[in-house]
Amino acid sequence: MLLTQLPEDVLYHILLHLDRRSLCRLSQACKSLNRFVNRDAVWRRIAKGCLNSGITWNGTDIYPNVPLKERVKTAQNWYHGFCKKWTLLKWKTKLLPWLQLDGNVLYLSQAAKIGAYSLSRDSRRLQRIPLENFSGHKGDVCRFVLTDSHLISGGSDGRILVHSRRRNMSLGLMGHSQEVNCLDSKNGLIISGSRDRTARMWTLTSSSPLGTIPMFDRVWSVAISPTQRLVCVCSLGSEFRRGAGVLDIVFESPFQLFTCGYDTFVRQWDLRLSPQKCVMEWEEPHDSALYCIQTDGNHMIASGSSYYGVVRIWDKRQTKCLQFFQLSSDSLSSPIYCLRFSSSHLYAALATALHSLDFRQQPAHIR
């Protein structure tokens, strides 16, 4: 009996024992095997073990529109550091930009405005004129988040603005006396943290805070868990010096989160255990503060450093940095203020430029 004459479920279980290279070779044998091998179900087991394949720790596929075979190929480039570097946008004044990525639209804050830019698959630069602008702050935008229906921003003027993404409407929330350093929003709930040493809770339609949480120091980062359990990062850990705050926090599940900050470590916390001690940590090798992180929901962490625009790629299964990329020149040092990535690109915002790393091909290895 030929291999192609086997029942599909039997053939599928045979292919589960093949590695990536063997599957690629088998797909070249004939058209029938090529069609079968290229199915997502065949590649799912391999994809779950790769970096940034889109398959999360609980099996969720966050990039269902991209074939898994293509993502597994791109994942090898993430692992080995093969990419092309592009400068998408430049500006003259030094800023503290922030990013959010929603499909093929990149949101970038510059001073008091937030622009929505369309991402072309092969474009090496962004259009100067965004698809849409969100404004209203009297000072710079410090942070902003996206929900399905709203864009919510916090500014140096102490205000929070809730912009509708469907209608030309916005709502201002007043409550903080100093700049809003951080905020998060889920299912209609907003949490904000400020230099005024308070964290405040709001709804999308409230005119005043639902509650105020006083802190002993300025609040640098806040997050809402997927189950809407509120966490203020000031309560994590017990050995940090005052002012050495956590600058970014990412929930990966209702009970696991990752933090980074001034003390040069990326840390993993399990809220089912003691909140005073992390379960894993990765140290930035050049003793730089870490301004931002993002995870792929499975094995990969990307972090942005405070010097020379250094982006690092970490594999949680290893203790040391896997790859690093220097995006700013030696003569002009800038932190990575924010980074976001898709299955094939990483976007990083520096003081005077927006950079991208394209991992779809295998050019020269950059540093």
pLDDT in tens, 38-60: 888 889 999 999 999 999 999 99
- What is the strand order of the sheet 246-251 is part of? 246-251, 256-261, 265-270, 280-283
Q: Which domains does the chain have, with CATH numbers?
A: 8-79 (no CATH), 80-358 (2.130.10.10)
Q: Of 359, 296, 308, which is closest to residue 336 (Cα–Cα)?
A: 308
Report the DSSP pairing between strands 150-155 and 159-164: antiparallel
> What is the model's pLDDT at position 329?
72
For residue 297, the SS3 value is coil
Query: For residue 340, what are the β-bridge partners?
Result: 347
Residue 364's pLDDT band, with cuts at 50, 70 and 90, is very low
pTM value?
A: 0.91
Residue with tokens 């590695």: 19
Residue-wise pLDDT for 308-362, tens only, equals 899 999 999 999 999 999 998 766 789 999 999 999 999 999 999 999 999 987 6
- Alpha carbons within 13 A on the beta-carbon side of 366: 21
> What is the model's pLDDT at position 236?
46
Specify the range with the lowest mean pLDDT, choosing from 100-114, 117-131, 190-204, 236-250: 236-250
Residue 311's alpha-carbon distances to 11, 20, 97, 99, 190, in angstroms, are 42, 28, 16, 15, 29
Q: Looking at the predicted structure, is the pLDDT value of residue 90 above 80?
A: yes
* Contact of 282 with 269, CB cutoff 8 Å: no
Query: For residue 265, what are the β-bridge partners?
Result: 283
* Contact of 85 with 364, CB cutoff 8 Å: no
Please give the average per-residue pLDDT across 102-116, as a whole number: 94
Residue 147's alpha-carbon distances to 99, 150, 155, 258, 340, in angstroms, are 14, 5, 18, 21, 16
Specify the range with the lowest mean pLDDT, choosing from 121-130, 155-164, 221-230: 121-130
Q: Looking at the predicted structure, is the pLDDT value of residue 263 above 90?
A: no
Q: Looking at the predicted structure, is the pLDDT value of residue 237 above 90?
A: no
Residue 121's alpha-carbon distances to 7, 289, 327, in angstroms, are 39, 33, 21
CA distance 330 to 343: 29
Residue 242's pLDDT band, with cuts at 50, 70 and 90, is low
Residue-wise pLDDT for 134-155, tens only, equals 999 999 999 999 999 999 999 9
